[in-house]
Homo-oligomer: A and B are copies of this chain.
Amino acid sequence: MQKIDVCISPELLHLYNIENSIVVVVDIFRATSCMTTAFANGVEAIIPVSTIEECVSYQQKGYLAAAERDGKTPEGFDFDNSPFSYMVEKVNGATICVTTTNGTLAITKSKSAVKVMVGAFLNLGALASYLKDQQYDILVLCAGWKGKPNLEDTLFAGALVERLQEEFMVEDDSALMALRQYELAKNDLLSFVASSSHVKRLQRLGIQKDIAYCLQQDLYDVLPVMRGNTLVKM
């Protein structure tokens, strides 16, 4: 029986053997929620890059580009890192270059996995249905906040563990803790996360609407997956 583990921070990824695993990267507020929304709105491909400079150079080549650092958008980019900014006509068929504080780093760190997918509450159901039939172990990689674990990514990990616990072994303590945290929170995710440090930080940035949106489950059935250096729809 395959297993499902949870890596609570990209800084711990070296402790997990991902060579035979599908890695599901999650950064609920807001990188992977944005990516999922972008694909649901017709984006063709997303190129995750590590630095602002790389992102600018893609933009200069004519790509649309999105950047975020510390929850804010540097000037001159095409999106403001809110999922709502991807609900526009211009994204249809486009390839977008993206760099964020935590999410894109987690993706680029996972390259040795069998497959790297992007998860969010928005596509949780589609992701769980797809993963149920896979013959590999699964590692949910929480992007966290600058290396520290955060509540919302852990809750997503717990939600995915809950949906897959019949088909996969749950042995890892981080996975068990995430599952129990999610069970505690699931009837009212929004109130539960209201106390988290990251949400307080985001609320100071005035994005309550984004927060509520990113906690909605099963809005889209898109499955973003890495092919080479590019994220595409499966």
The residues of B that contact A196 with a CB separation of less than 8 Å are: 173, 176
Chain A residues proximal to chain B, CB less than 8 Å: 8-9, 11-12, 15, 145-151, 154, 171-174, 176-177, 180-181, 184, 195-198, 200
Other 10 A-B pairs with CB < 8 A, given A148-B174, A151-B176? A9-B12, A11-B11, A11-B12, A11-B15, A149-B177, A172-B197, A173-B197, A177-B177, A180-B181, A180-B184
Smallest CB gap from A11: residue in B:
B12
Complex Cα distance, B154 from A9, in Å, reads: 15
The residues of B that contact A154 with a CB separation of less than 8 Å are: 173, 177
Quick check: A177 and B148 within 8 Å, CB to CB?
Answer: no
Quick check: A15 and B147 within 8 Å, CB to CB?
Answer: yes
Smallest CB gap from A16: residue in B:
B148
5 tightest Cβ-Cβ pairs between the two chains A and B: A151-B173, A150-B173, A15-B147, A171-B197, A173-B196
Query: Known contacts A11-B12, A184-B180: does B146 contact A173 (CB below 8 Å)?
Result: no
Query: Known contacts A172-B197, A197-B172, A197-B173: does B15 contact A148 (CB below 8 Å)?
Result: yes
Query: Known contacts A8-B8, A12-B9, A184-B180: does B147 contact A173 (CB below 8 Å)?
Result: no
Complex Cα distance, B198 from A174, in Å, reads: 11
